[in-house]
Chains A and B, each alone.
Chain A
Amino acid sequence: MKVSYQWLNKYIDLSGFTAEELAEKMTRGGIEIDGVESLNKGVSGVVVGYVKSREKHPDADKLSVCKIDVGTGEELQIVCGAKNVDAGQKVPVAMIGAKLPGDFAIKRAKLRGVESQGMICSAKELGINDKLLPKEQQEGILVLPEATPVGTPIGDVLGINDEVLELDLTPNRSDCLSMLGVAYEIGALTGREVRLPEPAVNHAAERADSHISVSISAKEQCSHYSARYIKGVKIGPSPQWLQNRLIAAGIRPISNVVDVTNFVMLEYGQPLHAFDADSITTGRIDVRLANPGEKLVTLDDQERALEPHMLVITDGEKAVALAGVMGGANSEVSEKTVNILLESAKFDGGTVRKTSRQLGLRSESSIRFEKEVDPARVIPALNRAAALIAELADGLVEEGIVEVVASEAAPAVVDVTLAKINGYLGTELSRLEVQTIFDRLHFSYRLSDANDLFSVTVPTRRGDITRDVDLIEEVARLFGYDNIPTTPIHGDVTPGALTKPQAIRRDLRRRLTDAGLHEVISYSFTGPSRTELFPDLSGKDLKPVKLAMPMSEDRSVLRTTLIAQLIETAVYNRNRKNESSAIFEIGSVFHTDEEQLTRLPQEKHRLAVLFTGNRVDAQWNRKSAPVDFYDAKGVLETVIDVLGLTARVRYESAQPLNFHPGRTAAVIVDTAHGPETIGYVGQLHPTLQHESDIADTYVVEVELGKLYELADSDIEYKALPRYPAMQRDIAVVLDQSVPAAKLTATAWAVAGELLESVRVFDVFTGEKLGAGKKSVALSLVYRHEGRTLNDEEVTELHGKVVAELEQSFAAELRK
């Protein structure tokens, strides 16, 4: 809402406040002012002139030489290039010494040898937003109404010595979508009185209801419909002052009748509509819901397909307007209109909102109806507009208002006690202070002495106030939020703490970043093709969740894996010459088993890691190290280890889609319900790497849910060993296909409690070993908790381990 300072000053005395000060006061009171715009963009020395004569320039075809009277007694000669300049016009004249926007000073000049003592201005040259002007006034000089007095400063004529406050209204304060509403607000902030317009409607002899009748078929959607009949209007431009008001508010002047309806809408917040009464041949108005298949051509010449939830104004047969949204072309006021049916009504906000949304038709009218207009202003606005049309379009207002009231709107009565106000705000307001605030708001109230109970009758213009807390907010904002004290919370001290999953995530973040990985946050929305990349991680029987109205195809579904997003990130960085990435993300993926959701999808917290390029870049004392599978696996093992789960987790060769079949492991956790695969660690399939245009890339993606649940963060001290250990190293040659984990598992199984640790310390292949063979070297440490082991028993036990390895895996002990 744009509010002209000068116009507002008509309804409440603004003396003592500049527009800027007013803006600050309103903002601090809860009506945010986005900006204050001066309408005068730097115009001075421009006055109204009368073109006494216009002659062709002797030496230039496109120029005219005009003699102008500007009321100084001295005639000015001005050379003008506009096509539309003519004798007999009233025009804006920038005299010598005048200034125009952009610091453009007018000087004496000679144009093609003819002296020019100033300039005749166009609207644009005066800094006026000419988009709001009729086309003929956008081109050439601005021609003013004939009656404009010569010599008047142009600022007074065009109302540009004014400032406009741009209100950024919250949805609850639609009362300030009107000049009167804003005036009431300022009254509440300043204690000054509001001056309401007092329309005097002079009636003609005939009664309106002899021409028209009104009925409401859709009473739910229209609680009040009122109309007046105005005859004999002369359609023409509205007077300059009225046009100025509309332009200041950002509304295009059209004609006197339409301009009045817009003016009164701005004044009262009540949208009005003027019909050409003669086009409503039935003389009837019926408000009903649209019929299936019904169509209406609206004022913008668009044919609109109506739906049965839309409210229409009809002549009893066909629709003539979309209630509260836009009039119909079939009943439009035109130059030929002589009789007017003027409508003022209260339409249901939700109905108007739905219609305007669905048709993509938002108008000044629909914006106001959507937020519920004040039922108490339906009739005053109708009368105000009727009086203005009579005055400005020479109409005669017929006797009486034709109306139907489907339901009366009673003002709300809301109770609040002084104790509740102070208890809620933490203030110590006196009864008198609260009374003063309600008085300034023009809220009437009954005050019961016994318990300081205010029974407040809330004016219907403030439909947002329905409960005690709404009144408390009014008190708070007028008392001033700054004046509310600052206190600590009463009551018990509560311990603050992280939950186990929260603590785990923090710890993982810290460890992974300490290991040199960057954390990323990627978008939860992705393209369908990316959700198909890793079905083993997306859940083979599960589906992605689709947005109903996505912004684009590649942001149309919810991610089903994290690594698909991490690959995008790596590619993005690679394209910016960062060939190496070590990144991770902790976040949710979304799966559903439903085609169309009827319940919330599964949201799973996951950890994903991606390595590509070099793990370490070359430095003078260090060779570069390209990433490999064991970088990724090592990160995962560390995570598993710090969560105390090493003993529960194993890795098995696996071939999930789009992973390298020989370089991928399933991560399997032993749970109470048996083993469960919680994710994979592996290299991307070379084909996928090629398609993504990315080098060898190793990834991890695991479900955190199970890890949260099983994580064992209890540290229990174990006494340091008191007896020495014995170490035995062996190397065995066996088939390459035998996984190392089987060798260590065998060692554990055979050696039992006396084995303290087993470590693979070397693996190699080579011609000497034979094709398909590898050598695996193990280091076993034996220890007894209660005594020193002797050589013989260790040798015997170790011998059993070796024998079992030889037997189970056809391993050959290397000597």
Chain B
Amino acid sequence: MKERLEALRAEALQELQQVDNPQQLNDLRVKYLGKKGALTEILRGMGGLSAEERPIIGQVGNDVRAAIETVIDEKQNAFLAAETENRLRAETIDVTLPGKALPTGAVHPLNKVAQEIEDVFVGLGYSIAEGPEVETDYFNFEALNLPKNHPARDMQDSFYITEDILMRTHTSPVQVRTMQQMNGKPIKVICPGKVYRRDDDDATHSFQFNQIEGLVVGPNIRMSDLKGTLLQFVQQMYGEQAQIRLRPSFFPFTEPSAEVDVTCVQCGGHGCRMCKQTGWLEILGCGMVHPRVLEMGGYDPAEVSGFAFGMGVERIALLKYGIDDIRHFYTNDQRFLSQFARM
């Protein structure tokens, strides 16, 4: 019996060596090791062996099985490896072709900048107030200490609809409306929005533009708080190294009033073409709320004080992105808009 087993091993190994496809391999597995295979067939005759012979023949049988299995496994692995190899070769693609990009639209750069500014102030505890773009003369001028015939109205040539109704020339009327709504309570708001002034459009002027104004009213609000607030704002907006510089100016609704320069974003204050070698860029107007304005808003200037500031969103966006013509913001050329899709 032992000889038969050894002969089987030799025959199997011999035959396995010739195998060159997985199907053949499987057929041989069945032929030799299957339930009705040759090995089982031989071992079935073990019943006629003596108790001494049986373990010896059993051992031989196992050795033969193991030897055949080892070769089958090796062959099997080799076939798998070859198959995988083939598959990988077949599946190879040109990874330099472009992928399926996600669509990328862009928030309009003016809104992108406005949102950024809003976020800074919301983080500082401000709410965002809004109001109508068509305003009454009262809210746009009178309540802001600009009575009819006031010389400062020279500065704002406006689009009137009737004698008393006009396109707002600044977002300041929202400040007045806020004061009247807040009814004497402390205020901390910013007011973003579109405004309109009669201007011939050119690279730096647009009859329609956007402003963001801020208003803080409460007991003991000081000009030093205004400086502190603006410094905090520009540092969040332009980085820790940014500084501000205030120059006395005039607005009818604030006293004292100031224009605010910020360290040039281009050169960091060393002087360049953008800042006309001064190291500073003018970006804001501000001041302490004029007592007349507080009064008309329903606040007692003896009890409370306040500060206000305002900036042009277009100017900030022009500076931030180095845009050369303000009209791009309103012609909405896709080649322009698509440049602002980045985070």
Contacts and interface: CB of A to CB of B under 8 A. Distances in A.
Interface of A: 27-30, 32, 170-174, 349-350, 353-354, 370-371, 423-427, 467, 469-470, 472-473, 476-477, 481-482, 484-499, 502, 506, 509-510, 512-525, 545-551, 555, 558, 569, 572-573, 576, 578, 581-583, 587-588, 590, 596-598, 600-601, 603, 619-622
B127 A349 contact: no
A518 B225 contact: no
A511 B130 CA distance: 23
B108 A521 contact: yes
A779 to B, nearest CB: 27
A621 B97 contact: yes
Contacts of A546: 161
Contacts of B149: 350, 353-354
Contacts of A576: 333, 335
13 contacts: A28-B247, A423-B220, A424-B288, A486-B228, A489-B225, A492-B186, A494-B186, A502-B130, A513-B341, A516-B104, A520-B337, A620-B97, A620-B98
Nearest to A488: B228
B134 A603 contact: yes
Given A514-B103, A518-B334, A583-B332, A497 B246 contact: no
Contact of A524 (B160, B196, B252, B335): B196
B255 A171 contact: no
Contacts of A590: 133-134
Contacts of B132: 600, 603
B308 to A, nearest CB: 13
Given A576-B335, A588-B133, A490 B220 contact: yes
Interface string B89-122: 0000000011010111111101100010010011
Given A423-B222, A596-B162, 5 more contacts: A171-B154, A484-B246, A487-B228, A549-B159, A581-B334
B128 interface: yes
Contacts of B155: 171
Given A489-B225, A513-B106, A520-B108, A619 B98 contact: yes
Interface string B119-141: 00111111110101111100000
Contact of B224 (A173, A174, A353, A485): A485
B228 A513 contact: no
B161 A469 contact: no
B258 to A, nearest CB: 6
Contacts of B118: 498
Contacts of B111: 509, 519, 521
A495 B125 contact: yes
A538 to B, nearest CB: 16
B104 to A, nearest CB: 6
Interface string B186-199: 10100000101010
A172 B250 contact: yes
A524 B194 contact: yes
A481 B161 contact: no
B105 A515 contact: yes
Contacts of B208: 523-525
Nearest to B186: A491
A129 to B, nearest CB: 24
In order of increasing CB-CB distance, the 4 nearest A-B pairs are A516-B103, A426-B224, A30-B248, A170-B250
B338 interface: yes
Given A469-B288, A487-B222, A496-B125, A482 B246 contact: yes
B198 to A, nearest CB: 7
Given A370-B151, A520-B332, A467 B255 contact: yes
A482 B220 CA distance: 21
Instruction: Please indicate which of the listed interface residues A512, A518, A598 has the most CB atoms of chain B within 10 Å of its own CB.
Output: A518
B145 to A, nearest CB: 11
A210 B258 CA distance: 54
A489 B104 contact: no
Contacts of B198: 551
A757 B124 CA distance: 46
Given A487-B228, A588-B133, A30 B247 contact: yes
Interface in B173-231: 186, 188, 194, 196, 198, 207-208, 216, 218-225, 227-229, 231
B124 A496 contact: yes
B153 to A, nearest CB: 9
Interface in B226-273: 227-229, 231, 245-250, 252, 255-258
A708 to B, nearest CB: 12
B107 A519 contact: yes
Contacts of A518: 105-106, 108, 332, 334, 337-338
Chain B interface mostly helix, strand, loop or mixed? mixed
A229 to B, nearest CB: 34
B165 interface: yes
A171 B152 contact: yes
Instruction: Please indicate which of the listed interface residues A484, A582, A619, A622 has the most CB atoms of chain B within 10 Å of its own CB.
Output: A484
B320 to A, nearest CB: 16
A287 B334 CA distance: 63
Contact of A425 (B107, B167, B216, B224): B224
Nearest to A578: B334
B329 interface: yes
B100 A32 contact: no
B136 to A, nearest CB: 7
Contacts of B231: 486
A496 B128 CA distance: 8
A427 B224 contact: yes
A523 B167 CA distance: 13
A420 B113 CA distance: 38
Contact of B258 (A481, A490, A502, A510): A481
Nearest to B155: A171
Instruction: Please indicate which of the listed interface residues A170, A423, A581 has the most CB atoms of chain B within 10 Å of its own CB.
Output: A170
B297 interface: no
B248 A29 contact: yes
B102 to A, nearest CB: 8
Nearest to A475: B256
Contacts of A620: 97-98
Given A486-B227, A490-B220, A171 B151 contact: yes
B291 A467 contact: yes
Contacts of B218: 489, 491
A473 B256 contact: yes
Contacts of B220: 423, 490-491
Contacts of B196: 524-525
Contact of A519 (B154, B228, B337): B337
Nearest to A481: B246
Contacts of A30: 247-250
A519 to B, nearest CB: 4
Given A486-B224, A496-B122, A578-B334, A469 B248 contact: no
Nearest to B162: A597
A517 B105 contact: yes
Given A481-B258, A548-B160, A600-B165, A512 B222 contact: no
Contacts of B126: 494, 496
B151 A522 contact: no
Contacts of A424: 222-223, 288, 305
A559 to B, nearest CB: 11
A512 B337 CA distance: 14
A481 B123 CA distance: 27
A524 B160 CA distance: 14
A519 B291 contact: no
Contacts of B216: 489
Contact of A545 (B134, B229, B246, B250): B134
Given A523-B330, A576-B333, A484 B224 contact: yes
Contacts of B102: 514, 516
Contacts of A514: 102-105
Nearest to B108: A519
A472 B256 contact: yes
B50 interface: no
Contact of A521 (B110, B247, B288, B334): B110
B9 interface: no
